[in-house]
Amino acid sequence: MDWHGTTILMARKGGHVVIGGDGQVSLGQTVVKANARKVRRIGGGKVIAGFAGATADAFTLFERLDAKLEQYPGQLARACVELAKDWRTDRYLRRLEAMMLVADRETGLVLTGTGDVLEPQASEGGSAMAIGSGGNYALAAARALLPMDLSAEDIVRRSMAIAADICVYTNGNLVVETIDENA
């Protein structure tokens, strides 16, 4: 499956976790919307989630993850594993074409339809993960910026700008959400 059409990036540094996503929606080679909101809060505002892939499919996954978070409050990893099990085994969910990047105060994860629940590798100064067509560009930039004297939000914004300059499916209209790990 070819995942393209957006960039979602998470950076964790200095007591903050930030997820940013661009706003471009593409249909083939045409930009059909430039300011979509692909990053949002779920789980009573305690979890940030971003998606890459088909919009309707992503909204279905947001709803399912929100329900799992109600079932397993304060247990993001468990809720994600349970969602991944359903996603992998349910005949309807298996057809959904989206990926999710989710984070709370302690945990950041990527979820895929193949049952993957992946945690970022910590690097010097923090951690970062990304999904979508421009994800590798944004991730490389974030990893280079993590050791520098920048906030997690600055890292996300600068890295997303770099991805938007390189990936034709990524634009500079950002939605950025932050969780303070110490709150």
The CATH number of whichever domain residue 68 belongs to comes to 3.60.20.10
Which single residue is written with the structure tokens 């969780």? 179
> What is the reported pTM?
0.92
Question: pLDDT-based confidence at 183, cuts 50/70/90?
Answer: low
Classify residue 21: in a domain, yes or no. Answer: no
- Nearest partner of 36 among 14, 17, 56, 12, judged by Cα: 56
Number of domains in the chain: 1
Query: Which whole-number Å values give the CA distances from 17 to 96, 123, 132, in the listed order?
Result: 27, 15, 19
Longest dimension (CA), the chain: 47
Pull the structure tokens for residue 95. 């057809």
Classify residue 9: in a domain, yes or no. Answer: no
49 near 42, Cβ under 8 Å?
Answer: yes
Classify residue 138: in a domain, yes or no. Answer: no
How far apart CA 66 and CA 41 sit, in angstroms, is 10
Domain of 119 in residue numbering reads as 37-126
Classify residue 143: in a domain, yes or no. Answer: no
32-45: string of b/e by CB count within 10 Å (b at 16+)? eeeebebbbebbee
Q: What is the pLDDT of residues 35-87, one digit of tens each?
A: 989 999 999 999 999 998 877 788 888 899 999 999 999 999 999 999 988 88
Length of the chain: 183
Classify residue 181: in a domain, yes or no. Answer: no
Instruction: Identify whether 107 is a catalytic site residue.
Output: no
Q: Strand order in 117-118's β-sheet?
A: 39-42, 47-53, 98-103, 108-111, 117-118
Classify residue 31: in a domain, yes or no. Answer: no
Classify residue 96: in a domain, yes or no. Answer: yes
Q: What is the pLDDT of residues 5-43, one digit of tens each?
A: 789 999 999 999 999 999 988 887 888 888 989 999 999
Residue type at 56 in one-letter notation: A
Which single residue is written with the structure tokens 């349970």? 82
Classify residue 100: in a domain, yes or no. Answer: yes
Catalytic residue among 6, 7, 112, 170: 6
Question: pLDDT-based confidence at 1, cuts 50/70/90?
Answer: very low
